Structure 1
């Protein structure tokens, strides 16, 4: 249970350079959970488990695609739990992004942007999602299609996010936009484009 996805998560977080002391504390916490739990990548790990999310940017990087989470009532990036079929953390986040956005050919940057630890009373009472947050870029002219998991799905200007989102999303949008400005868009490649 500690091969494949688990090993990829350890390697990803071990090599990741945290952008702040708080993010470094989270990185160390995630690695501790991974060291202690063979099932840390799955919802069976209690109280905490890792998840993967991806903030989808438009091709011109001016908009982000957010989903209105049915249970939380907040506009959030796409993402969720890892599945046994996932072999990499970036692949898990990308799969979730494709499923929740309806956009098949997202190009993802496999290097995390931020980490976010948040309580999830509707998933694991008393526990937390240890979310690894990445960014992806949609192709020009992409049409988003809402999934059954979402109450709504919309593009928002990077500078005009909806009121009912949270600081984690606002921080992710800022950090993601900065990543794209500095590193440009991730290039589609066999290992970074999800194929259903």
Structure 2
């Protein structure tokens, strides 16, 4: 199978959905992979990759303000042309959106959450869905975080502060999966 498909298949290999809703989302992602280019933005459902950035030494997590959604979310986004590896995409997006130079998968490179997120229409695009593959990335230099632009501030928060700040249920779910890792 071509690289465009294989990287998503590999990322999901052995992944165990935690809820019936997530199982349905993973099944939709697998069907998407079987039927065409899962990364192409013209598809009403396409794959994206994101990450919760953590600083294991302090147990804090980094959130990014998303102006369009008016909420605190994870870093991440779409594949660039010729990108097919979801972890590499999450790493690139993390570096671009935070300026953190040392991001690395933590505690391992495994997918932590798969969720299909509806994206409302705007002046540039129709309503569509993101099949988001989520990872955890760590930094050893949290003080190096710099927003990519003034409209996208960053906040380091304890997991409890983050739970109070996050308004999106699917982001709270991702955080709840990462909290036990930080407590170790």
Same fold, TM exceeding 0.5? yes
**8 Å Cα contact 2:49/2:78 also seen in 1:** yes
Deviates more, 1:159-168 or 1:101-110: 159-168
Quickly say closer, same or farther: Cα 1:180–1:35, change in 2 above 3 A. farther
Residue 40 (structure 1) aligned with residue 41 (structure 2): no
Query: Are residues 1:7 and 2:9 paired?
Result: no
Cα distance in 1 for partners of 2:151, 2:130 equals: 18
The match for 1:105 is 102
Partner Cα distance (1:17, 1:107) in 2: 22
For 2:179, the equivalent position in structure 1 comes to 177
Any stretches of 5+ residues in structure 2 without a counterpart?
A: none
1:28-67 alignment to 2 at 5 Å? Answer: 28-37=27-36, 39-44=37-42, 46-60=43-57, 62-67=59-64
Indicate if the aligned counterparts of 2:4 and 2:38 stay in contact, CA closer than 8 A. no
Pairwise CA RMSD: 2.1
| Contact kept? 1:53, 1:96, Cα under 8 Å | yes
TM superposition shift of 1:126: 3.0
How far apart are the structure 1 equivalents of 2:142 and 2:52?
17
Distance 2:56 2:181 in 1: 14
Check whether the contact 1:113–1:179 (CA below 8 A) recurs between aligned residues: no
Distance 1:57 1:93 in 2: 14
- Residue by residue over 1:50-89, the C-alpha shift from the partner in whole angstroms, topping out at 9 and shown as x without a partner, is 0000100113252111110011110001000011242411
TM-aligned CA deviation for residue 48 of structure 1: 0.7
Q: What is the match of residue 190 of structure 1? A: none
2:56/2:182 contact within 8 Å kept: no
Normalised by the length of structure 2, the TM-score is 0.87
Q: What is the distance in 1 between the residues matched to 2:72 and 2:46?
A: 22
Q: Say if 1:41 and 1:49, in contact at 8 Å, map to a contact too.
A: yes
Contact residue 67 and residue 152 of structure 2 kept, 8 A: yes
Kept in 1: contact 2:55–2:138 (CA 8 A): yes
* Aligned match of 1:70: 67
Q: Conserved in 2, the CA contact under 8 Å of 1:75 and 1:165?
A: yes
Task: Give the structure-1-normalised TM-score.
Answer: 0.82
Alpha-carbon distance change, 94 to 9 in structure 1, aligned in 2, over 3 angstroms: same
CA distance in 2, matches of 1:22, 1:164: 20
Larger helix percent? 2
1:124 Cα deviation (Å)?
4.6
